[in-house]
Amino acid sequence: MTETYHLISSVTCPWVQRSVITMRAKGVAFDVTYVNLREKPGWFLEISPHGKVPVLKVGDAALFESNAIAEYLDEVVEPQLHPADPIKRAQNRAWTDFLPTFGWGPGLNNLTYCKTREDLPEALENARLRLARLEGAIARERGNDGPYFNGVKLCLVDAAYGPFFQRFAIAERVLQTDILAEFPLVSTWVDALLADDTVTGAVDDTFAAEFDKNLERRGTLAWELMSAAAAAE
């Protein structure tokens, strides 16, 4: 039986994008419903225990948490994005476990959404600590010369981290920290992720405009610099 997939989404959410990348890499067709996370509808709260997106409806079942969704899809739809070797698979899972520490809070997100120039040094230092871990991970895990986390094939680790780097790259255009240059393996990995339409194209057409609004709403330094550059044109 062919399953029907229905993604409950929000335009700028990196965790949602992780699910979309996974489905694109597998050629899975799916419908999308966007919810307003500032005014969550009752039907959404009934199927999302934490009140968060993504939720993937598979037939009548509702899956939540982007990692569980990725793992489910990898079990049931070819091609498998996890490595075939159980040791490598466990190591990959460990690096996807690191994603919240890497991306969220004092990780890359605090740099992307940094509010003032004064906040920048601390945000950079926190991001640096986490990027150093990834640099070591790639040195150990990457086969051949990459370009993806495991080598030539996109895997679930790529699907997990790509959205966070995509958002950072937008802010970095004006922040110009050049922090990735300190981590050559991460840097070439990020180049590959950002050059891959399976990753960067896994967003709605309105993503760029909505993400800019997000930067503005959060009162970020990136938004201030973007506005100043636009005013100077």
Ligand X SMILES: N[C@@H](CCC(=O)N[C@@H](CS)C(=O)NCC(=O)O)C(=O)O
Q: Which positions touch ligand X (CB under 6 A)? A: 10, 13, 15, 37, 51-54, 65-67
In the complex, minimum distance from the CB of residue 121 to ligand X, in angstroms, rounded to a whole number: 27
15 versus 98: smaller Cβ distance to ligand X: 15
CB atoms within 10 A of CB 93: 15
124 versus 215: smaller Cβ distance to ligand X: 215
Spatial CA neighbour of 20 closest among 66, 82, 62: 66
CB atoms within 10 A of CB 139: 10
In the complex, minimum distance from the CB of residue 205 to ligand X, in angstroms, rounded to a whole number: 18
53 versus 155: smaller Cβ distance to ligand X: 53
82 versus 142: smaller Cβ distance to ligand X: 82
Q: Which two tokens stand for residue 54?
A: 């993504």
Continuous segment of H or E residues that includes residue 153: none
In the complex, minimum distance from the CB of residue 101 to ligand X, in angstroms, rounded to a whole number: 12
In the complex, minimum distance from the CB of residue 82 to ligand X, in angstroms, rounded to a whole number: 17
In the block, which residue shows the tokens 């949602």? 16
Residue 72 makes CB contacts below 8 A (sequence gap 6+) with 56, 58, 63
